[in-house]
C-alpha cells in the first residue's frame, strides 16, 4: 500500500499544482498560436512542454502517496486554461507575456513550499525534482519579463499588479543560484505564516 501523507496542506497543494499545470499548458497553446515569429512560437511551445512535464512529475508524486486527482481542480483549471488560451488572440501582444510572467513568478515558490512541507514530514527524496521544477518556473518568468522589459506598458502594469522589473513573487536569483541542498533558503517569507501553520497542524517540526 502507498504511504499516506499526514499533511492536508501538502496534499491540497499537490492536487492544485497538478491541475494548474494543465491550465498553464492550455494558455501557452493559445499564446504560441497568437504569435507571428517562428522563434517566439517555438519558445512558448517549449514552455508549454515544460508545464506538461511538471504535470507528469507532480502526478508521479501524488501516486506514490495515493493522492487522488481533484475533479474540482481539474474542471476549474481546464476552463481557466481554455479561456486564457482563447483570450490570447484578442488582448494584444503585451498582456499574455505579462500575466504569464506574473503567474510563473508565483509558481516558483509553490514548488519550494512543497519541499518545505515534505521536510516537515522528514521526507527529502523529492528535493531534486521539486528544485528542478521551481528553477524551471523561474526560467520561464525570466523569459517572459525579457520579452516585455522595454514596453511602455510595463511600469503601469507593474504598479497595478506587483510584478515586473522591480517586483517578484520569489527571491530566486538565477545569477547566484543556490544548490538543491541549500534551496530551503528560498521563499522564506512566501506565505510564511500559512506554511508554519500548516506544518504545525500536521504535527510536524521543520
User: Which of 133, 140, 108 lies closest to 58 in space, CA to CA?
Assistant: 133
Domain ranges across the chain: 8-201
Q: Model confidence at 206, in pLDDT bands (50, 70, 90)?
A: very low
- Looking at the chain, the whole-number percentage of residues with pLDDT higher than 90 is 87
The pLDDT tens digits of the residues spanning 18-71 come to: 999 999 999 999 999 999 999 999 999 999 999 999 999 999 999 999 999 999
DSSP annotation string for 50-76: HHHHHHHHHHHHHHHTTPPPPHHHHHH
pLDDT digits (tens, 9 = 90+) for 64-123: 999 999 999 999 999 999 999 999 999 999 999 999 999 999 999 999 999 999 999 999
Q: What is the pLDDT of residue 2?
A: 60
Question: What span, in angstroms and rounded, lies between the C-alpha atoms of 188 and 171?
Answer: 9
Question: What is residue 37's DSSP assignment?
Answer: S
Q: What H or E segment, with its residue span, contains residue 14?
A: helix 8-34
Of residues 130 and 4, more confidently modeled: 130
For residue 205, pLDDT over 60 is answered with no
> How does the average pLDDT of the chain come out, rounded?
94
What residue has cell string 505579462?
Answer: 98
Does residue 169 surpass a pLDDT of 90? yes
Number of other residues whose CB lies within 10 A of the CB of residue 180: 17
pLDDT of residue 9 exceeding 90, the answer is: yes
| 151-154 own/partner pairs: CB under 8 Å, 24+ apart | 151/94, 153/94, 153/98, 154/98
Distance CA 50, CA 125 (A): 21
**Over 50: is that where the pLDDT of 145 sits?**
yes
CATH of 8-201, one of 2.60.40, 1.20.120, 1.20.1260, 3.30.310: 1.20.1260
Amino acid at each position: 500500500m502507498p504511504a499516506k501523507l499526514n499533511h492536508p496542506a501538502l496534499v491540497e497543494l499537490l492536487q492544485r499544482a497538478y491541475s494548474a499545470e494543465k491550465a498553464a499548458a492550455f494558455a501557452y497553446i493559445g499564446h504560441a498560436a497568437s504569435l507571428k515569429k517562428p522563434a517566439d512560437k517555438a519558445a512558448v511551445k517549449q514552455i508549454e512542454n515544460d508545464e506538461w512535464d511538471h504535470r507528469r512529475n507532480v502526478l508521479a508524486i501524488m501516486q506514490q502517496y495515493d493522492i487522488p486527482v481533484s475533479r474540482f481542480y481539474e474542471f476549474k483549471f481546464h476552463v481557466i486554461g481554455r479561456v486564457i488560451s482563447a483570450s490570447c488572440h484578442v488582448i494584444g501582444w503585451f498582456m499574455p507575456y505579462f500575466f504569464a510572467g506574473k503567474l510563473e513568478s508565483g509558481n516558483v515558490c509553490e514548488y519550494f513550499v512543497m519541499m518545505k512541507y515534505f521536510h516537515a514530514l522528514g521526507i527529502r527524496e523529492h528535493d531534486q525534482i521539486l528544485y528542478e521544477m521551481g528553477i524551471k518556473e523561474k526560467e520561464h518568468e525570466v523569459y517572459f519579463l525579457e520579452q516585455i522589459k522595454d514596453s511602455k506598458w510595463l511600469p503601469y502594469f507593474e504598479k497595478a499588479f506587483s510584478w515586473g522589473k522591480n517586483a517578484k513573487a520569489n527571491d530566486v536569483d538565477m545569477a547566484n543560484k543556490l544548490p538543491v541542498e541549500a534551496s530551503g533558503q528560498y521563499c522564506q517569507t512566501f506565505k510564511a505564516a500559512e506554511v508554519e501553520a500548516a506544518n504545525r497542524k500536521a504535527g510536524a517540526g521543520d
